[in-house]
Amino acid sequence: MKITDAQVFVGGPGKNYVTLKVMTDQGIYGLGDATLNNHETLPAAYLRDYLVPNLVGMDPRNSEDIWQLFYRGAYFRRGPVAMAAYGAIDMALWDIKGKLAGMPLYQLFGGKSRDGAMVYAHAAGSDLDALMDSVASYVEQGFKAVRVQCGIPGMPSAGYAVPKDDVGTTPYITDFSGIRPSVEGWDTGRYMRYMPGALAEIRARFGPDLKILHDVHHRLLPREAAELAKAVEPVGLFWLEDPTPAEDQDALKLLRQHSTVPIAIGEVFNSIWDCNKLIENELIDFIRVAVTYAGGITHVKRIVDLAAMHHVRTGFHGAPSHSPLSMAAQAHLNAWAPNFGIQEYLVLGTPACDALFPSEHRMENGMMYVSDAPGLGVDFDETEAERYTYSPGSHPIVRLEDGTVWNY
CB nearer to ligand CS2: give 285 or 344: 344
Q: Which does 211 bind (CB under 5 to 8 A by kind): Mg ion, ligand CS2, none?
A: none
From 39, 122, 214, 217, active-site residue: 217
The region of 18-26, 96-104, 164-172, 316-324 touching ligand CS2 under the rule CB under 6 A is 316-324
Q: Which does 37 bind (CB under 5 to 8 A by kind): ligand CS2, Mg ion, none?
A: ligand CS2
Q: Is 267 in the site for ligand CS2 (CB under 6 A)?
A: yes
CB nearer to ligand CS2: give 8 or 319: 319
Q: Is 329 in the site for ligand CS2 (CB under 6 A)?
A: no
Return the C-alpha torsion angle 276, 279, 280, 282, nearest 10.
150
Strand segments, DSSP code E, in 76-220 are 117-125, 145-150, 176-177, 183-186, 211-215
Residues in contact with ligand CS2, counted by CB under 6 A, come to a total of 10
SS3 letters across 125-138: ECCHHHHHHHHHHH
CB of 162 to ligand CS2, least distance (A): 12
CB nearer to ligand CS2: give 358 or 396: 396
CB nearer to ligand CS2: give 215 or 227: 215
- Choose among 163, 168, 169, 148: nearest CA to 213: 148
Look up residue 381 and give its amino acid.
D
Contact between 18 and 33 (Cβ < 8 Å): yes
CB of 215 to ligand CS2, least distance (A): 5
CB of 393 to Mg ion, least distance (A): 17
Q: Is 335 in the site for ligand CS2 (CB under 6 A)?
A: no
User: Alpha-carbon distance 161 to 166, whole Å?
Assistant: 12
DSSP classification of residue 234: G
In whole angstroms, how far apart are CA 397 and each of 190, 217, 267, 403? 19, 12, 18, 11
Q: Is 37 in the site for ligand CS2 (CB under 6 A)?
A: yes
Q: Which residues of 173-197 are buried (b: 16+ CB within 10 A; e: fewer)?
A: bbbeeeeeeeebebbeeebbebbbe
Q: How far apart are the two ends of the chain, measured CA to CA in Å? A: 46
Residues in contact with Mg ion, counted by CB under 5 A, come to a total of 2
CB of 264 to Mg ion, least distance (A): 8
Q: Which does 321 bind (CB under 5 to 8 A by kind): ligand CS2, Mg ion, none?
A: ligand CS2
The residue from 314, 321, 323, 359 that contacts ligand CS2 (CB under 6 A) is 321
In the shown chain, the binding pattern of residues 169 to 188 toward Mg ion, with x for contact by CB under 5 A and - for none, equals: --------------------
CB nearer to Mg ion: give 159 or 377: 159
Q: Is 344 in the site for ligand CS2 (CB under 6 A)?
A: yes
In whole angstroms, how far apart are CA 27 and each of 2, 16, 22, 98, 384? 10, 27, 10, 14, 21
Q: Is 215 in the site for Mg ion (CB under 5 A)?
A: yes
- Choose among 60, 57, 65, 56: nearest CA to 98: 60
Q: Is 146 in the site for ligand CS2 (CB under 6 A)?
A: no
From 29, 46, 138, 160, active-site residue: 160
Tell me whether residue 217 is one of the annotated catalytic residues. Answer: yes
Q: Is 319 in the site for ligand CS2 (CB under 6 A)?
A: yes
The Cβ of residue 170 has, within 10 Å, a number of other Cβ atoms equal to 10
Strand pairing class (393-394; 397-400): unpaired
Q: In DSSP terms, which residues pair with 8 in a beta bridge? A: 20
Strand pairing class (397-400; 183-186): parallel
**Active site residue ranges:** 160, 217
Binding site for Mg ion (CB under 5 A): 215, 267
Binding site for ligand CS2 (CB under 6 A): 37, 174, 215, 217, 267, 317, 319, 321, 344, 395
